[in-house]
Amino acid sequence: MKLAIAIILLSTAALHSHASQAQSLATSALKGLDTRAPIDVDADRIEVLDALNQAIFSGNVRVRQGGLTLEANRIKIVYSRPATGDPVIRRLDADGNVRVTTPSERATSRFGIYDVDKRLLTLIGDVKLVRGTTRLNGNRLTIDLASGRSTLDGQSSGGQAGSRVSGRFAVPERKK
């Protein structure tokens, strides 16, 4: 996830003067995610609300697209129906025990929104992001899959003050 890249890059650059060390951490598994790739979904149950252009998947829901896996207790998929052809997925709303994994990162939260049209992935509520030994915590993680820009906020969605972003970063051993 690109958030880890930005924070690790800044933190590592501040901790070390070796630019090559910071750059080696700067490749996210989501870099170049093809948001037009097929989206595969499986779950224990599906309820289709065709008149509303929605499908609600529940029970051990797993969504895969390229190197991205999104899992949750429940995921609502909003789609559109072109005049001809298959339905087009526009947005996925994940609720309960949300987990996002890539080959090198994993994140958890209470809620998740994947806006396929806007190419935005947002995790909300008790967000935990892990990449190797680096760990970040906050309340809202937003990843712009088009630009690579990511932000992690500590503040709650209600604007509650006092919440902060926290992290633990590995510091490689230096040669003397």
Which residue in this structure is represented by tokens 């396929």? 116
Q: Please determine, looking at this structure, whether the domain spanning 2-168 carries the CATH number 2.60.450.10.
A: yes
Q: How confident is the model at residue 23 (pLDDT cuts 50, 70, 90)?
A: very low
Pick from 91, 76, 73, 105: nearest CA to 1: 105
CA-to-CA distance for 104 and 79, rounded, in angstroms? Answer: 30
Dist CA 12 CA 6 (whole Å): 10
pLDDT in tens, 50-102: 999 999 999 999 999 988 999 999 999 999 999 898 999 999 999 999 999 98
Which residue ranges make up each domain of the chain?
A: 2-168
Give the CA angle between residues 75, 76, 77 to the nearest 5°: 115
The whole-angstrom separation of Cα 176 and Cα 170 is 18
Q: Identify the bridge partners of residue 6 per DSSP, sorted by sequence position.
A: none
